[in-house]
Amino acid sequence: MAVPEFQRVVARRLVLRRLRAEDLGALVAYRNDPEVARYQSWTDYDASRGRQLIEDMRGRQPGEPGWFQFAIASRDTDVLMGDCALRVDADDPRLGEIGFTLSREHQGQGLGTEAVRTLLEYVFGTLSLHRVFAVTDAKNIAAATVLERVGMRREGHFIENIFFKGAWGDEFQYALLGREWASTPR
Ligand SMILES: CC(C)(COP(=O)(O)OP(=O)(O)OC[C@H]1O[C@@H](n2cnc3c(N)ncnc32)[C@H](O)[C@@H]1OP(=O)(O)O)[C@@H](O)C(=O)NCCC(=O)NCCS
């Protein structure tokens, strides 16, 4: 099936759009913030890594196998506030995984919930995926709260299944089906 060309998705306070070269400074600044990186896979995030990410996304479409990173930008100013991602399974493109990050100054205002809702609407509504999951550190209360608020179901609590930043950690797995999303009151 042809993957539709992604342009942007507009929500109440934010826009999901493609990352651009002008986003580099903000992207690297928040990804380098230890508070933001605490439960993420990276530790130091330098400009060359950010540049590579922006470059890698240039020729990609969400819905293709692999990761697609969306910019989360302010609807009013277009300033980059964070990013979120969809990974489509290489063996079955009806299955996906999501991730999300906001800069510290944009946290605690419900923007994480709005961004993930917008992403799920795109993933289920436009791309018609069957099932989406998300994995989060069991200590990451903000992420778990967002995932529960958007209606995702905690399906697993994995005990010390990852050696992460110097210690064994637990993870939660959340998931949702497309038909469950369609029947979620909004
Ligand atoms: C996860 C993340 C995107 C959430 O974004 P956000 O915009 O702050 O989320 P929201 O405001 O929509 O909701 C978060 C809720 O969790 C609550 N929360 C956050 N930390 C909490 C804590 N330690 N204890 C209890 N509640 C907490 C917030 O108070 C908020 O609830 P409220 O609206 O009732 O106040 C953001 O914290 C982030 O980018 N973190 C760093 C990257 C990351 O860990 N990403 C997830 C990887 S799986």
User: Is 186 inside a domain boundary?
Assistant: no
pLDDT given at position 1: 58
pLDDT surpassing 90 at residue 168: yes
Residue type for position 28: V
| DSSP reduced 3-state for 106 | helix
Rg of the chain in Å (alpha carbons)? 16
Tell me whether residue 158 is in a domain. Answer: yes
Per the structure, the count of domains in the chain is 1
| Cα–Cα dist 56/69, whole Å | 9
Cα–ligand 1 centroid distance for 143 (angstroms): 5
| pLDDT digits 0-9 by tens, 16-54 | 999 999 999 999 999 999 999 999 999 999 999 999 999
Task: Determine whether the shortest distance from the Cβ of 126 to ligand 1 is under 6 A.
Answer: no
Decide: 111 in ligand 1 pocket, CB within 6 A.
yes
Q: Is residue 3 part of a domain?
A: no
**Which helix (H) or strand (E) segment is 113 a member of?**
helix 111-120
pLDDT band (50, 70, 90) for residue 186: confident
Phi, psi of 83 (to 5 degrees): -150, 160
> What average pLDDT does the chain have?
96
Q: Specify whether the CB–CB gap between 35 and 142 falls below 8 A.
A: no
User: Residue 18: CB partners within 8 Å, gap ≥ 6?
Assistant: 6, 7, 8, 57, 58, 70, 71
Residue 2 lies in a domain: no
Q: What is the rounded distance in angstroms from the CA atom of residue 8 to the CA atom of residue 18?
A: 7
State the distance from the centre of ligand 1 to the C-alpha of 112, rounded, in angstroms.
7
Instruction: Determine if ligand 1 sits within 6 Å of the CB of residue 26.
Output: no
**Band of the pLDDT at 2, cuts 50, 70, 90?**
low
Neighbours of 69 (CB within 10 A): 20
Can you give the residue range of the structural domain that contains 96? 8-181
pLDDT of residue 184: 87
Tell which wins on pLDDT, 2 or 36: 36
Percentage of the chain modeled with pLDDT above 90: 94
Ligand 1 atom nearest 36 alpha carbon: 41
CA distance 27 to 44: 12
Residue 1 within any structural domain of the chain: no
Q: Is 65 a domain residue?
A: yes
Find out whether the beta carbon of 85 lies less than 6 Å from any atom of ligand 1. no
What does the pLDDT read at residue 185?
79
Alpha carbon nearest to ligand 1 atom 35, residue: 108
* Cβ(179)–Cβ(133) below 8 Å: no
129-154: average pLDDT:
98
53 lies in some domain: yes
Q: How many other CB atoms are found less than 10 A from the CB of residue 10?
A: 10
13 within ligand 1 shell (Cβ under 6 A): no
pTM of the model: 0.96
The rounded Å distance from CA 128 to ligand 1 centre is: 27
Res 133 pLDDT > 70: yes
CB 80 within 8 A of CB 26: yes
Q: What is the pLDDT of residue 39?
A: 96
- Cα end-to-end distance, the chain, whole Å: 29
Q: What CATH number did the domain enclosing 12 receive?
A: 3.40.630.30
Is residue 171 in some structural domain?
Answer: yes
Which residue is closest in CA terms to ligand 1's atom 25?
Answer: 141
4 pLDDT band (50/70/90 cuts)? low
Any ligand 1 atom below 6 A from CB of 108: yes
